[in-house]
Structure 1
Amino acid sequence: MRSLSKKYLLTSATLCGALLLAACNGDATGSESEEEITEDDIGSVGAMESFEVGDTFVATEPLDIGILYRDLPAYPLETDWMFFQELEENNNVTFDITSVPLSDWEERLNVTMGAGDLPDYSTDIWSGHETPYVPSGTVLPISDYTHLMPHFQQRLEDWEGVNEQIENMRQLDGKYYVLPGINENIQFDFSMKYNQTVFEEYGIEEPQSWDELRDALVILRDETGTTPLTLWWQGNATFNFGGGSFDTIGGWGSMDGAMYDPDTEEFVYAPMQQGYKDMIEYFAGLTEDGLMDPEALTQDDQMARGKLINQEAFVSSGNIGTITDVNEGLDDQYGEGEFEFSRLPILAGPNGQVMRGGNTNSGIMLSADVAERDDFLALLQYIDWQYYSDEGTEFAHWGVEGETFEYTDDLVGGYKPVDGIRYERLNVGAPESLQEDYGFGNAAFAYAGPAHIRQSIMEEKEFNYQTRMNEEVEILLPDPPRPMSPADQEQASLLSTPLLDTVDQYTFRFVTGQYSMDRWDEFMEELEAQNVDAFMELVNEAYADYQEAVESATE
């Protein structure tokens, strides 16, 4: 089975750390040696004189932060949320928000970064998103400053494997530019979901593999006359969490299309490998046989939701939020408890019950300009407290004890919203929402963290699901680093963009049935004509150069 072992990841990260040390002392990459930045070297207006693990951040002078904010339709931005009011009153922090609708997010982010107009920081940045912007110098090398963030450092020290994964985010200059969300354990956010009531009605056992799911869909098609599978998020989530089981990458996890092959110890272009073909052939076959909705790759979330609630489909991709949403809609339409959607396990495929992932997830990217702020240290302290302290994490997820939540021994998660406030599947039917009406549980601020907080919104069923998946699923850890010089990164971006456009077009046409799989060779020829070999040569040269630099650093 093709997977990156933890041993490999630890070795890679250890060498990467050695490379950074060499770069600071004498330089394996050719840059001049650097002194560690201290608090005295940066603007400290508003900063706390003493800020340590366990301290609550309170700016000594008002701290206003510019943020590029991904606005989600599930809880549209309200600037008077309690979340913002509490930060202003108790922490002396306010925000200047540039709100971007989810539908426009990727385009707006690219335009903003291309113009060098990023506010102080951006939400919802995955490692790899920053790479095209690093050469321009518009992104802050945050690794130069994380030693000034005590809560961040504690999580790296205490949580197994996290430090190594962050080390793998370093660019060729030995620095990293994204502050990711850090989880204490693996969080299985996305999976397939299914109408458990309907499955039981037709005597269908819970599928454990993609093949078993196909068999179940055949029964549902024949018994109900429907097209039983549709997809949420146009397949991006499905191809992402399902890719590992087919030994490939896809959807949100595609990045630039390159994937490390530990057998050859080189990177390969994933869409040209057998695993990607197997995955696309599987879903194309579902569409061809009337098992998957032809609109699955084009519809918006509301269309997918409507089909599941109206019993036009019985299986979809999702997460706990979409399951809650659909179940509430089913309760409204058919009566409480008449139908219930549940999670499917991570399904096994040709590569086994495997998922790509790790303890890190999307986080934030800071503008290089923040380093010139006279209150830069205060900004670092706020970010450290908000995103990496237990207190900040609890506040972002749950709000204020006694006003929005209370502790409890009655629920497996240990928390519950107060009467009158609903949150996910807790207090369903309450008139107010912790997210929509108060601004807590907001993905821009409430993500990652200690297991007891991340899992606190879970009903016992979901809690047990996460425990089971952590025991059963093999995790393919992140690929080794392959940072590029600015010139090579620019060339790689010029090559990879049209390649990915071609991959997206052919994937869409294969899966929707517009193209027969007989045209796969045509797809491969098109990628070759667009210089995929030149792109992969750049990637593998970067990987080889980095390995050489690592080896030199450890001699």
Structure 2
Amino acid sequence: MRRTRTGAAIAGLLAGSLTLAACSTDSLGGGGGDAPAPDELGMVGAMEDYEVGTEFVATEPVTFSMLYRDHPNYPFQEDWPILQQLEENHNVSFDMVNVPLSDWNDRRNLLLAAGDAPDIVPSTYVADAEQFVASGTLLPISDYLEYMPNFTAKVEEWGLTEDLDRTRQADGDFYVLPGLLENPKPTYTIAIRQDLWEGAGLTEDPETWEEFADQLETIADTYPEIEYPYSDRWSMNGPMEATLQAAAGNFGTEAGWGYGDGVTWNGSEYEYTGAQDGYRDLVGYFADLVDRGLLDPESLTQDDDAAKAKLVNGQSAAIGSNDQEILGYRTALEDAGVEGAELRQIVVPAGPAGNRMDSSTGGRFESGITFSASAAESESFVAMLQYIDWLYYSDEGLEFAKWGTEGETYTVADDGTRTLDENIDINGLNPGAPEALNTDYGYHNGVWMLAHGTTQDLLDSMLRPEVIEFRAAMNAKEVADPGPAILMDELDREQASLQQSALEDIVMQNTAAFILGQRPMEEWDAYVAELEGAGMNDYVELVNGAAAE
């Protein structure tokens, strides 16, 4: 697509008359850096009256450069309808740099580090981008929120201002537009053989983790042929990462995939997560399950296929799960001819700290978009911001990215219910349909759909009733306070990273050792002393100093 230019006088006139966001951006703006004045920004294709409720249509054809994450399940196609729709109806086309999913992180990071990345870089988390802030290769997008009314409206209406502030860097700016969620999207829990539970007289979800242990004991007593009532998975980089994260909030700590930077806010300051009383209680709980023969000790070492095989072969009756994995479990049980097998996911039980989700599970940011610093020099920079704001943050754009084009890929009933065309499938909505919404059309694609819809209505619109019910029950829980932003300069961040890497190695090794009984829980104090010897107190002091600033 050819690039077009327009006169500087016209650009200046448009900059002066551009209608900005209806909501205030004062509380969301940048850190006071050297952002270009509005009349210095490229206005080619920008709409004069763009605001919430306006469909973005560039005033003339524009082309945006974008780093595209090419997923093997839906390989990129130049003739996808989503690309045709964007070009024909919105005057937007792309200069794509395609990167296979398998190389995504490395290639993206190399391009960002060298300052050679395209203008738009999706599928990027805040933590992914932090390492490039000091080099100046990223755009401080917080300086330009006045051109993004849908983003700022949702941040303010959904109470996400403090969450966004936590993503700011030491210069006061933030560099990633995150995917937004109206409500948390908890996914991981434990799936149980409901038929076996009912056969043992257990008909209700356990309300606490202690009650879950009692239920496992009952299953073991009722079905002695089962080797272990519970065998878990997802231990590739650490012990039982999914389940420990799901359980952690109820013990007042963080763990597993949610271990993060290794510090947890206690209401007044950060403390080291792996030394918390709550972390000790969490580890001690699962160590007790292993000791009582209720949790398969191989849960911490086996690969996922081994854990799934034990469920199918009747060697276990419970396994870590999410709303997609449970479908695979059901299919495997059916294919194996296990008659009467029924699976359901339990609501994560409460624990000593209450009925809570950890701050990561209860978070409302998803993978987002970062921008090359050179994007601000584009002749169509403001049009690019408007396009991003419309597609990723307006209700209309979000629905388009998730469902496609009304009348072509889906229909909407009078009550608002969306129905996918019978010849198209996604997420099992039309099993056996000859086409897929992502593979054949390009919609429902993580590059253009950051948070699976953002609004609760869109999140629920393609979910099975059991998933909607599970998430509603989970969202009734309290969410742990994530604490204030930790703002470090490049030198402090590098020091903190080295310290935390060494500390985390100690934590993960000992978490596994405690759970497996290779190290008795009576040695907890000695373990904490080892963390102190590895610089734990210095690390926590550095973190709290950065948080105080």
State the TM-score, normalized to the length of structure 2: 0.82
Distance 1:64 1:347 in 2: 47
2:324 is paired with a residue whose SS is helix
Distance 1:112 1:132 in 2: 13
Q: CA deviation at 1:299?
A: 5.1
Cα separation, partners in 2 of 1:110 and 1:63, compared to 1, 3 Å: closer
Indicate the larger mover: 236-245 or 424-433. Answer: 424-433
Which residue matches 1:319? 322
One-letter identity of the residue aligned with 2:286: F
Q: CA deviation at 1:439?
A: 3.9
Which residue matches 1:229? 230
One-letter identity of the residue aligned with 1:484: M
Cα separation, partners in 2 of 1:239 and 1:70, compared to 1, 3 Å: farther
Q: CA deviation at 1:240?
A: 2.4
2:198 is paired with a residue whose SS is helix
Distance 2:166 2:132 in 1: 18
Deviation sequence 1:199-229 (CA, Å, 0-9, x none): 2233223222222222222333441413333
1:458 aligns with 2:463: yes
Q: CA deviation at 1:495?
A: 1.8
One-letter identity of the residue aligned with 1:211: E
One-letter identity of the residue aligned with 1:44: M
Which of 184, 187, 191 matches 2:185?
187
1:482 aligns with 2:491: no
Distance 2:113 2:509 in 1: 25
Q: CA deviation at 1:133?
A: 3.3
Q: CA deviation at 1:271?
A: 0.6
1:130 is paired with a residue whose SS is helix
Which residue matches 1:67? 67
Distance 2:140 2:311 in 1: 44
Deviation sequence 1:324-371 (CA, Å, 0-9, x none): 333344444449x94443221131011111002243333233333333
Cα separation, partners in 2 of 1:66 and 1:510, compared to 1, 3 Å: farther
Cα separation, partners in 2 of 1:405 and 1:366, compared to 1, 3 Å: same
Distance 1:432 1:88 in 2: 23
Cα separation, partners in 2 of 1:460 and 1:332, compared to 1, 3 Å: same
Which residue matches 1:266? 269
One-letter identity of the residue aligned with 1:177: Y
One-letter identity of the residue aligned with 1:323: I
Q: CA deviation at 1:521?
A: 4.0
Cα separation, partners in 2 of 1:126 and 1:532, compared to 1, 3 Å: same
2:325 is paired with a residue whose SS is helix
* Counterpart mapping for 1:533-544 below 5 A: 533-544=537-548
Q: CA deviation at 1:50?
A: 3.9
Which residue matches 1:13? none
One-letter identity of the residue aligned with 1:364: I
Indicate the larger mover: 418-427 or 171-180. Answer: 418-427
1:282 aligns with 2:280: no
Distance 2:526 2:70 in 1: 38
Q: CA deviation at 1:183?
A: 1.8
Q: CA deviation at 1:63?
A: 2.0
Distance 1:266 1:291 in 2: 37
Cα separation, partners in 2 of 1:392 and 1:226, compared to 1, 3 Å: farther
* Counterpart mapping for 1:79-98 below 5 A: 79=77, 81-91=80-90, 92-94=92-94, 96-98=96-98
Deviation sequence 1:138-194 (CA, Å, 0-9, x none): 3322111122112112212332x1223212322232212221122222332333333
Deviation sequence 1:46-71 (CA, Å, 0-9, x none): 44444322233344334243226284
One-letter identity of the residue aligned with 1:202: A
Say whether the 8 Å CA contact 2:99–2:107 is kept in structure 1: no
Which residue matches 1:3? none
Deviation sequence 1:354-404 (CA, Å, 0-9, x none): 002243333233333333333332332222122101112112221222333
1:296 is paired with a residue whose SS is helix
Say whether the 8 Å CA contact 1:37–1:145 is kept in structure 2: no
- Greater radius of gyration (CA): 2
Say whether the 8 Å CA contact 1:346–1:473 is kept in structure 2: no
Say whether the 8 Å CA contact 2:263–2:273 is kept in structure 1: yes
Say whether the 8 Å CA contact 1:408–1:414 is kept in structure 2: yes
Which residue matches 1:4? none
Which residue matches 1:148? 147
1:252 aligns with 2:254: no
Distance 2:202 2:76 in 1: 44
2:146 is paired with a residue whose SS is helix
Which residue matches 1:506? 510
Cα separation, partners in 2 of 1:214 and 1:57, compared to 1, 3 Å: same
Cα separation, partners in 2 of 1:64 and 1:36, compared to 1, 3 Å: closer
State the TM-score, normalized to the length of structure 1: 0.81
Indicate the larger mover: 490-499 or 506-515. Answer: 506-515
Cα separation, partners in 2 of 1:484 and 1:324, compared to 1, 3 Å: same
* Counterpart mapping for 1:38-49 below 5 A: 38-49=37-48
Distance 1:112 1:510 in 2: 42
Q: CA deviation at 1:275?
A: 0.9
Indicate the larger mover: 349-358 or 422-431. Answer: 422-431
Deviation sequence 1:447-501 (CA, Å, 0-9, x none): 151111111112333323333333x311123211121223222222222222223
One-letter identity of the residue aligned with 1:342: R
Task: Name the % identity.
Answer: 38
Distance 1:302 1:84 in 2: 38
Distance 2:87 2:379 in 1: 19
2:191 is paired with a residue whose SS is strand
Which residue matches 1:28? none
Q: CA deviation at 1:304?
A: 4.6
* Counterpart mapping for 1:97-116 below 5 A: 97-101=97-101
1:136 is paired with a residue whose SS is coil
2:408 is paired with a residue whose SS is coil
One-letter identity of the residue aligned with 1:326: Y
Which of 374, 382, 397 matches 2:379?
374
Unaligned runs of 5+ in 2: 1-24
Cα separation, partners in 2 of 1:499 and 1:401, compared to 1, 3 Å: same
Deviation sequence 1:58-100 (CA, Å, 0-9, x none): 44334243226284x7x35343554445444444233624435
Which residue matches 2:164? 166
Q: CA deviation at 1:231?
A: 3.6
Cα separation, partners in 2 of 1:321 and 1:38, compared to 1, 3 Å: farther
Say whether the 8 Å CA contact 1:46–1:63 is kept in structure 2: no
Indicate the larger mover: 348-357 or 171-180. Answer: 171-180
Cα separation, partners in 2 of 1:509 and 1:117, compared to 1, 3 Å: farther
* Counterpart mapping for 1:355-434 below 5 A: 355=357, 356=359, 357-408=362-413, 414-434=417-437
Distance 2:250 2:70 in 1: 30
Distance 2:422 2:510 in 1: 51
Deviation sequence 1:264-293 (CA, Å, 0-9, x none): x22111111111121122223333444334
Say whether the 8 Å CA contact 2:28–2:152 is kept in structure 1: no
Cα separation, partners in 2 of 1:425 and 1:195, compared to 1, 3 Å: farther
Distance 1:306 1:112 in 2: 41
Distance 2:301 2:442 in 1: 30
Cα separation, partners in 2 of 1:311 and 1:257, compared to 1, 3 Å: same
1:382 is paired with a residue whose SS is helix
Q: How large is the Cα RMSD of the aligned pairs?
A: 3.3
Distance 2:291 2:107 in 1: 36
Unaligned runs of 5+ in 1: 1-15, 25-33, 547-555
One-letter identity of the residue aligned with 1:353: N
Say whether the 8 Å CA contact 1:398–1:441 is kept in structure 2: yes
